[in-house]
Amino acid sequence: MFGPEFEKLIESLKKIPGITKKQSEKVAFYILNLDYQTLNELINSMKTVNQNLNKCITCNFITKNIQCDICLDVSRTKKLLLIESNNDVIKMENNKIFDGKYFIFDYKNREELNQNLENLLKRIQEFSEIIISFSPTMEGLTFTNYLAKILLEKTNKKISKISFGIPIGSSIDYMDEFSIKESIDNRKEIK
């Protein structure tokens, strides 16, 4: 509609994880309506972030240094949480949910899959437990089972996965059968 440049911008924005075509169009229109100075500030801030932040060599979390502060913290427990994204780590840390260390394992990124698996296997001996925490999508559950099988073969450490089920504040009437089954399978005894 507005030419190939606009369409290319929309296609580029759609590559951002979690951004739909509709959202990429909104962002494209926002960019289109920016004055030149504001656009330059946006571009420069994006370049600065890209140049000054990188992945921790140990866990893949974003850091300004070679290793992140979490990996360098010797007071953390000897548990390793396998997690999907930087956002997941930030949520865990901001809410003080987990006091161990993390390994960000983007299983959707096929290019880095083998390298991440190799890096993970080098690291697991320093932990007493490895907890797999991927989204309960078909892809996430399939990869959880695949990774658990590899870890069980390669180590004698305790391997666990997070439980899934009915979220607090919801009604069983509105739940899918998979969530209900997972809730029953992952039930806890009342003592």
Instruction: Return the domain boundaries, the chain.
Output: 4-52, 55-185
Q: Tell me whether strands 79-83 and 62-63 are parallel, antiparallel or unpaired.
A: unpaired
Which pLDDT score is estimated for 73? 97
Query: Among 136, 128, 129, 130, which residue's Cα sits nearest to residue 185?
Result: 136
Which pLDDT score is estimated for 190? 57
What are 1-54's pLDDT values in tens digits? 678 899 999 999 999 878 899 999 999 999 999 999 999 999 999 999 999 999
Average pLDDT of 162-172? 77
- Which CATH code is given to the segment(s) 55-185? 3.40.1360.10
Class of 4-52 per CATH?
Answer: mainly alpha
Report the SS3 class of residue 101: strand
Which pLDDT score is estimated for 10? 93
Is residue 172 scored above 60 in pLDDT? Answer: yes
Longest dimension (CA), the chain: 66
Is residue 133 scored above 80 in pLDDT? Answer: yes
Identical fold between 4-52 and 55-185: no
In the block, residue with structure tokens 């899918």: 176
Which pLDDT score is estimated for 166? 74
What are 61-110's pLDDT values in tens digits? 999 999 999 999 999 999 999 999 999 999 999 999 999 999 998 877 77
Distance, CA of 130 to CA of 162 (rounded, Å)? 11
Residues 79 and 58: beta-carbon distance below 8 Å: no
The single-letter DSSP state of residue 168 is T
Q: How many CB atoms lie within 10 A of CB 174?
A: 8
Report residue 191's pLDDT band, with 50, 70 and 90 as the boundaries.
Answer: low
**Which positions ≥6 away from 125 have C-beta within 8 Å?**
155, 157
